[in-house]
Copies of this chain bind each other. A is one copy, B any other.
Amino acid sequence: MLTGKNYVAGELTADETSVFESVNPKNNEKEAKFYNASEKDVDAAVEKAAEAFPEYSALPASRRAEFLNAIAQEILELGEELIQTYCSESGLPEGRAQGERGRTVNQLKAFADYITTENWKDEYKDEPNPERQPLPKPGLLRTSVAIGPVAVFGASNFPLAFSTAGGDTASALAAGCPVVVKGHPAHPGTGELVASAIVKAAEKTGIPSGVFSNLNSSGIEVGELLVKHPKIKGVGFTGSLRGGRALYDLAAKREEPIPVFAEMGSVNPVIVTETAIEKRGEAIAKQIAGSYTLGAGQFCTNPGIILKMGDNTVFESHLKQFSEEIEAQCMLHSGIKKAFQEGKNQLLDEKGVQVLSGSDDTENNMAAGTIVKVSAENFIQNEKLQTEVFGPFTMIVTCSNFQELNSALEKLHGQLTASIIAEPEDFSSLKASVAILQHKAGRVIYNAMPTGVEVSPAMTHGGPYPASTDSRFTSVGIPAIKRWLRPVSFQDFPEELLP
């Protein structure tokens, strides 16, 4: 049963003076009432988190693993109510809800497993040498400590896997950091249900309640208060460049600046060579059409630029055909739908941009795929063509040869991913392109679409700005935990005195 309230260290709070409603994007109808967190709630949540921090971070990692596994279990036990709430708040289909729940649960379990492995703190020892001349060599043990309470911002496009108990929360809790979540107002019900699962898991496993709070917010105030709070020591965010940059700027202006890990999406260029098109153009066109419209194009790894080599126009016809066969899908909320249309229209006004495929506005928040086309020459000259249009949109950039391709690649902003669809015959020509791409993207892919981010140890989901605010860390996969840890060295420490 939804209450619409905030969870502040296990307690439900509600301030009747500031409310908002959840909306079903399929019909724009209001569904349930939610209470915005007050300034008092923010302060209480952070203070409780700071109080809980020393105890929580000092627990044996196995206790935190127990907690994470219990959260996974409690999320599963929310059953059908979670799936139905997710679908009605996000407009996403049931299969996606189930898949994302599975991923969320698996992430929690994966971090639980990881912190019970031997060297998750990256410990390293330098042996002492008291005989060394001119000075004795000290013994050093380097280990890791959690940075402190962390603020996590729910992501509109991942109501489960990158929100309340998503990757940022799971990795921070695993590291030993209490978490205060600023829920996304597009799915507050999903957020409250998951928050209730975390609160239950904490009770059942004897974890201090201050370790977790969930704050509703339909505006920007709660998020701002959180990031500015002196006892918050780090921020996790997945969303737009504008939103991520605003948080980064706030954090940088603090008396004590703190790290902000904002993953802000990108246009994820896909190179398709002439040879690949000749050999299997139709199949590639089908893959691209499926990828750029997946989840109504609302993925940060959506392929927004197709660098198409050669002058094969049959490939374009295939792409148009497959794209038009895919039905319009519901976007996450009316704001995203509006931004999608405005973004498209702005790009259509740019020099040399032709529409290849795309319908006019569809009813309510539905969106169908749009493909535009522009020459590499125009692309190279106009940075605005790199603006991300969040939704089912992609732009073919026609390149006549590898030299022109590489000039276009040189101009690219930082990206989460870059893909190469090619054949072995292309390898020698592609060497220079790969050399460029490794400095532009966090993940470089061969013969696959960028959508689909494996949650695994070798994954890098991040990349040079503006893909993320800190390219040295990943937000997906086990190394995401490193964001919430810092090294500390103990010099000549007796075993009995080590924490």
Interface residues of A (CB under 8 A from B): 54, 58, 124-126, 135, 137-138, 140-142, 145, 147-148, 248-249, 252-253, 256-257, 259, 414, 420, 424, 427, 430-431, 434-436, 438-439, 441-448, 452, 454, 456-460, 462, 464-466, 469-474, 479, 482, 485-494, 496-499
**In the assembly, what is the distance between CA of A58 and CA of B142, in Å?**
31
Using A147-B471, A435-B499 as known contacts, say yes or no to A452 and B488 having CB atoms under 8 A apart: no
| Contacts A/B (CB < 8 Å), 24 sampled | A54-B436, A124-B458, A126-B457, A137-B454, A142-B457, A147-B471, A148-B439, A249-B252, A252-B252, A256-B464, A256-B465, A256-B466, A424-B496, A427-B494, A427-B496, A427-B497, A431-B497, A442-B489, A445-B490, A446-B493, A460-B489, A472-B482, A472-B487, A479-B487
B140 near A456 (CB under 8 angstroms)? yes
Using A435-B58, A439-B54, A470-B259 as known contacts, say yes or no to A458 and B248 having CB atoms under 8 A apart: no
Using A442-B489, A446-B491, A447-B492 as known contacts, say yes or no to A140 and B458 having CB atoms under 8 A apart: yes
**In the assembly, what is the distance between CA of A444 and CA of B498, in Å?**
10
B446 near A492 (CB under 8 angstroms)? yes
Among B252, B459, B472, contact of A485 (Cβ-Cβ < 8 Å): B472
Q: Which residues of B contact A442 (CB under 8 A)?
A: 486-489
Using A256-B465, A442-B488, A486-B472 as known contacts, say yes or no to A460 and B497 having CB atoms under 8 A apart: no
B465 near A257 (CB under 8 angstroms)? yes
**In the assembly, what is the distance between CA of A414 and CA of B145, in Å?**
14
Interface contacts beyond A126-B454, A141-B458, A446-B490: sample of 19 additional A-B pairs, CB < 8 Å, sorted by A: A54-B436, A126-B457, A126-B458, A126-B459, A140-B454, A142-B459, A248-B252, A252-B257, A259-B470, A420-B497, A424-B494, A438-B488, A438-B499, A442-B487, A443-B488, A444-B493, A445-B491, A472-B482, A473-B487
A443 near B491 (CB under 8 angstroms)? yes
**In the assembly, what is the distance between CA of A178 and CA of B482, in Å?**
27
Using A142-B460, A499-B434, A499-B438 as known contacts, say yes or no to A257 and B446 having CB atoms under 8 A apart: no
Using A142-B460, A497-B430 as known contacts, say yes or no to A444 and B249 having CB atoms under 8 A apart: no
**In the assembly, what is the distance between CA of A137 and CA of B459, in Å?**
12
Q: Which residues of B contact A469 (CB under 8 A)?
A: 257
Q: Which residues of B contact A499 (CB under 8 A)?
A: 431, 434-435, 438
Closest to A251 in B: B252
Closest to A256 in B: B465
Each complex incorporates copies of this chain amounting to 2
**In the assembly, what is the distance between CA of A456 and CA of B446, in Å?**
39
Q: Which residues of B contact A438 (CB under 8 A)?
A: 145, 488, 499
B456 near A126 (CB under 8 angstroms)? yes
Tell me, rounded to whole Å, the shortest Cβ–Cβ distance linking A260 to chain B.
Answer: 10
Tell me, rounded to whole Å, the shortest Cβ–Cβ distance linking A280 to chain B.
Answer: 16
| 7 A-B pairs with least C-beta separation | A252-B252, A140-B458, A460-B489, A142-B458, A126-B458, A445-B491, A471-B486
**In the assembly, what is the distance between CA of A486 and CA of B446, in Å?**
20
Q: Which residues of B contact A464 (CB under 8 A)?
A: 256, 486
Tell me, rounded to whole Å, the shortest Cβ–Cβ distance linking A400 to chain B.
Answer: 22
Q: Which residues of B contact A137 (CB under 8 A)?
A: 454, 456
Tell me, rounded to whole Å, the shortest Cβ–Cβ distance linking A342 to chain B.
Answer: 23
Q: Which residues of B contact A470 (CB under 8 A)?
A: 259
Among B138, B420, B487, contact of A448 (Cβ-Cβ < 8 Å): B138
Tell me, rounded to whole Å, the shortest Cβ–Cβ distance linking A448 to chain B.
Answer: 6
Tell me, rounded to whole Å, the shortest Cβ–Cβ distance linking A31 to chain B.
Answer: 31
Closest to A440 in B: B488
Among B257, B420, B487, contact of A474 (Cβ-Cβ < 8 Å): B487
**In the assembly, what is the distance between CA of A268 and CA of B233, in Å?**
22
**In the assembly, what is the distance between CA of A405 and CA of B473, in Å?**
37
B460 near A488 (CB under 8 angstroms)? yes
Among B414, B436, B471, B490, contact of A444 (Cβ-Cβ < 8 Å): B490
Closest to A478 in B: B124
